[in-house]
Amino acid sequence: MRIESVHIYGFGKWQNKQFYLNNSSLLEITGENEAGKSTLRQFILYMLFGLPSKKLEKYLPKQGAQIGGRMVISALSSKEVTVERVQGKNKGKAIIYLENGKREEEAWLLQHIRGIDRAQYEAIYSFDSADLRQIHQLNNDSLNDVLLAVGMTGSDRIYYAEKKLEKDRSDLFKPFGKKPAINQVLAELSLLKKKLSVAKEEEATYNDRLTKIRALEEEIVQLEKSIEEKQAHQLQLEKILSYYAQIEEYYLTIQRLDRLTGLTAFPAHGLERYKQLKEELLPYKSENLMLQRNIEEIKHKLDTLSDTVFSEEDIGLLKQAMELSDAIKQWKKQKNEHEQKIKNIEVEVHTKLQSLQITLSVEELEALTLPFYLEELWTDLSKQKDQLELENQYIRNELQALDKIIKELKEKKQSCQSSLVDAAIISKYQQEVEKSKLNREQQSQIKQMTNQQAGKTSYLLSMMLLIVGLIIAIGLVFWKNELLWGSLLVIVTALPFIYFQLNRRIFNKWMLQMNPTETFLTDEDLTKREEIISEQEKVQQLLDKVERDLTANQVEKLKLEERASSIQSRYQQLQEKITDQIEAYPFLENIVLTYWPKLYQQLMLLQERIIERYKEQEKNSSCRDQLKQLESKQAEALNPLNIDATEIEEKLTAEEMKRKEYLQLRNHYQQLVDEQNHCIDRQQPYLEEISLLFQAANTKDEHEFIEKGERTHEKREIEKKASQLFDSLTVWMDVTEIKKIRAGEYDDEVLLKKQLTKISKEIDDVKEKWKQKSQQLSDQRAALEMLEVREEVSLLKHQIALKKEKLEKLAGEWAIDQIALERLLQAKNRYYEIYVPKVFQHASNYFSRLTLGRYQQLVLLEESNWIQVEDREGFFYTVDELSQGTKDQLYIAIRLALSNVMAKDLSLPFLIDDGFVHFDQYRKESILEILQELSEDHQILYFTTEVSSGSMIKIN
C-alpha cells in the first residue's frame, strides 16, 4: 500500500493543504519545530482509522474549517482509490471512491488492510521520539522485558499489559496476604459469622411471637377484604337508589319505542332533503322568468334593425374599396421613399466628390473604368515607396552611426598612439627589470650561505676550544716542564685564531667574486618600471583592437553605400510607374500615393451608389404604374354605392358599427334562449330527486310525505333518548343488568332500601371484629419490639450477605485477570516461537550497522529470556551495561526488524516522527541506508527537522 497524495480540508493548523507523496518510496518530510509535521502524521492515522470525537477536539481548526480530508492510495486494489473522511459526514466513517466511480464503506478499507486497527498499526509501522523517552524511564530488568516484547509485537504494550494484569491480580488476592481486597473480605466475613452464631441463641422466643403476628395479620387482611366487598355492595345499592328515576325513565322510553315499530321505511333525513331541494329549485324558477322577459325585449330590437343594415354584398364592396385605399396609400408611400432615396444618393455622391477634393464630376465618375486589379496595383506601389523610404532612412541612420563610430575609433587610435612610449625605452626597462630580479636572487643566496658559514664557524670554534681544554688538562696532569708546557699552551691557543683568519680571507675572496659589479634598482624604481611596461602592453593591445574595429566598420560602410545606390535605382523605377498611373488617371496628381488605395475604395463605393440610384429610379417608375391601376379599380367598386373615395372609411365604420350591433343582439338573443334551455335542464335533476323521495317514502303527494316524515322524526328522537339513557347507565352498571331493566326485571325502590339497611349493619359487625384483631396484633408487636431493640441477627445476616456478594464480585474479577494473563502468556509463547528468531536475526544486522560494527549480533538466552549483545571482540553485554544512546539504537533496530518481517505479509506505509534526533552523522547515514532498503517493500514517511540529500517535502 502506498499513499500517493494527501488533501487536508481542515486538521489542526492545516487548512485546504495538499501534499504529494509519490516522489519516492523513502520520503523525508522536513520542517522546523511547530511546522506541523506531527499533525500531518496524525492526519494520516486519522484518515486510516478515525478518532473519537473527544480526541478530535484538539485538532479543530482555529479558523472554523471542517475537520477531514482526502487521501489517494495505491496498491490496495488493481487501481488507485480515494479515501475521504469528514467529521459529521457518514457518521465520521471513511468513504472509499474507486476509480470506476463506485463508492464503498469503511469495511472495504479494513478488509484490504487485513483488519489491522490503529493500535496494531502504531505498534508495528510507526514510532517517534516519545517511545525512546519512555524507554529512558525504565529500570534495567524492565527494559530487557520491554525490548523482548517489542521484538514480539512491535510495541511495549505486551509488557505493560502483563505487568498490569499481575498487579491487578495481586491487589485482589494473595494466599498469605492481609492487604489484598479478597483477603480482607474473607477476614471480615469470618468475624461476622461468629457474631451471628451468638445472636441466634436469643432468637427462639422471637420466632414464636413472629408466627402469631403473621397469623393475626392474615385474619385482619381477610376482614379488610370482607369489609371492602360489603362496602362495594352497599355502594352499588346506593347508586341504584340515586339513579332509580333514570332507570324508570329508560324502561318507559323503551315501551314508547316499541309502540312505534309499525312505521314503514322513510328516507334518511327525508324532510331536510326535501326542504333543501325546494330551496335550491326556487332560484332556477326565478331565473327562467327573467330570461323569458329578456328574450322578448331583444327580439323586438332585432326586428327594428334588420330594415336599415347594409347587405353582405354592399359591405364587401366597401371593404374592397377600403383595401384598395390602403394599397394606394402604401404605393404612394413607396413612391415617395424611392424619390427621397434618389435625391439622397445624388446629394451624397456630389458631397463625397467635393470632400475628396479631386477634379472629377459625377458624369466622369459614371464613365470612369476602374479595373479590379487597380487597387492591388496602387497598394503595391504605396508599399514599395514606403519600403524604399524606410530602407533609405535606415541606411542613412546606419551610415551616420558608422561615421560617428569611425571618427571615435580614429580619435581613440590617435590617443593610443600618443600614449605609446618609444620601443627602445621599453626594451631598456625590461632588461633592467630582469637584471634587477637576477641580482636580488643572488643576494638572497649569498645571505643564506653567509648564515650557513657563520654556523659552521661557531661549531668548529667550540670543538677547538674543547680540544684545547682537554690538552691543557692532560698537560697539567702529566707534563712537569713549565717552559715546554707554556710554549705548547701558546701554540694550541693560537691555532684556532690562525685557522679562522685564513678561513675568513678565503670566504671573503669567494664572496667578492660572487658579488655583482653592477648596481641594481630600488624597490620603488623596480615597481614603477614594471607598471610602465604593463601599461604599455595594455595600450598596445587596445591599439590593435581599435585598428581591427576600424577596418571592420570601414568595410561595413562600403556595403551600406552600395545598398544606398541600389535603393536609389529602384526608387527611380518606381517613380516612372507612378507617373504612368497619373497620366492614366489625372485626378491622382494632387493625391498622395499612400491614399490611392483608399481613394480607389471610395470611388468604387460612389459608383455602387450611382448604380443604386438607377435601381431606385426603376422602382419609382413601377410604383407610378401600379398606382394608376389601383385608382381605376377603386372607382369601379364605388360607382354602384354612390360614395366618394374620401367617404369610404367613415361610411364603412358606420355600417360596421350597425352590423356589429345587429350581430351582438342576435348572439345575445341566441345566448338567452340557450340559457333558458339550460335553466330548464338544471331544474330537472331536482324534480327527479323529489320524485325519488316520494317513491322511497311510499307517498303520493307533498302533504302525505311531510306527515310521514314528522312521525319518523319522533321515533328517531325517542331512539336517541333511549341510547343516551343506555350510555348513562353503562357508566356504573353492567349491560346484563340493563337488559333486565329493559325487560322490566328490576327491584322495587322500597325493597332496595331494606337491602341497604341490612348491608350497613353487616359492615358495622365486621369492623368491630377487625378492631379486636388489630388490638391483639398491636399487643403482640409491642412484645416483639422488646426483642428487636438490638436487631443483631438481621443486621448480621444483612452484613454477611453484602460481604458474600462483594466476595463473589472480587473473585470474578480475579478469575478474569487470571484467565487473561494465561491467554496472554500462551499467545506470547506461540508468537515467540514463530517470529522472534526472524526478528532478532534482522535486528542483529541493523544493530551492527547502527553501532558502526562495534556490536556484531544479539543473543537471546533461552533459559532466562535475557537479551545480550556481542561486540566485535567477542565480549557479551546485558542491556543494562549499554549506554543510553546504544539502548535507543537497540530499540530502533528491533522495531525496524519486526516491521521488515511483518511487511512480507502486509506492506503498509511506515511513519517515523523524529525517531533519530539523538543520532550522530555516521549513525544517521546508517539508519537512512536501512530505511532505503526497507522502502523496497513498503513506503516510508520520515518526519524530521534535519535535511539530508534524499527525496523530501519541505514544510514551512
Residue 558 domain flag: yes
Dihedral of the alpha carbons of 912, 918, 922, 924, in degrees to the nearest 10: 10
Phi, then psi, of 105 in degrees rounded to 5: -95, 180
100 to 78, 80, 81, 366, 533: CA distances (angstroms): 11, 10, 9, 75, 84
Of 568, 598, 630, which marks where a domain is finished?
Answer: 568
pLDDT at position 482, please? Answer: 60
Residue 246 domain flag: no
Dump pLDDT digits (tens) for 875-919: 888 888 888 888 888 888 887 887 777 766 677 888 888 777 777
Residue 64 domain flag: yes
194 to 200, 797, 905: CA distances (angstroms): 10, 11, 64
Rama region for 928: left / alpha / beta (φ>0; ψ in -120 to 50; rest): alpha
Q: How far apart are CA 280 and CA 291, in angstroms?
A: 18
Of 536, 568, 600, which marks where a domain is finished?
Answer: 568
pLDDT at position 94, please? Answer: 93
Residues 6+ apart with CB under 8 A from 88: 66
| Residue 700 DSSP code | S
Rama region for 208: left / alpha / beta (φ>0; ψ in -120 to 50; rest): alpha
Q: How far apart are CA 783 and CA 254, in angstroms?
A: 66
pLDDT at position 631, please? Answer: 74
Nearest to 603 by CA among 615, 591, 619: 591
Q: Which three cell numbers stand for residue 822?
A: 494465561
Residue 632 domain flag: no
pLDDT at position 493, please? Answer: 65
Dump pLDDT digits (tens) for 451-506: 777 677 767 767 777 777 777 777 666 655 566 656 666 666 666 666 666 666 66
Tell me whether residue 168 is exposed, middle or buried, using C-beta atoms within 10 angstroms of its C-beta: 0 to 12, 13 to 18, 19 or more: middle
pLDDT at position 69, please? Answer: 95
Pairing of strands 68-74, 910-913: unpaired
Residue 720 domain flag: no
Residue 667 domain flag: no
Query: DSSP alpha helices (H): ranges in 357-422?
Result: 362-367, 374-419
Pairing of strands 940-944, 26-31: parallel
pLDDT at position 507, please? Answer: 58
Of 568, 593, 614, which marks where a domain is finished?
Answer: 568
The structural domain count of the chain equals: 2
Residue 601 domain flag: no
> Which CATH number characterizes residue 101's domain?
3.40.50.300
**How many percent of the chain have pLDDT more than 90?**
4
Q: How far apart are CA 384 and CA 401, in angstroms?
A: 25
Pairing of strands 68-74, 81-86: antiparallel
Pairing of strands 126-128, 910-913: parallel
User: For the sheet containing 910-913, what is the strand order?
Assistant: 126-128, 910-913, 940-944, 26-31, 952-955
Weakly modelled stretches of the chain, pLDDT under 50: 138-140, 143, 147, 151, 153-156, 516-517, 519
Residue 790 domain flag: no
Q: Which domain holds residue 427?
A: 406-568
Dump pLDDT digits (tens) for 185-207: 777 778 877 777 766 665 656 67
Q: Which three cell numbers stand for residue 893?
A: 533496530
Please report where in the chains the cell 514599395 appears, as a residue: 384
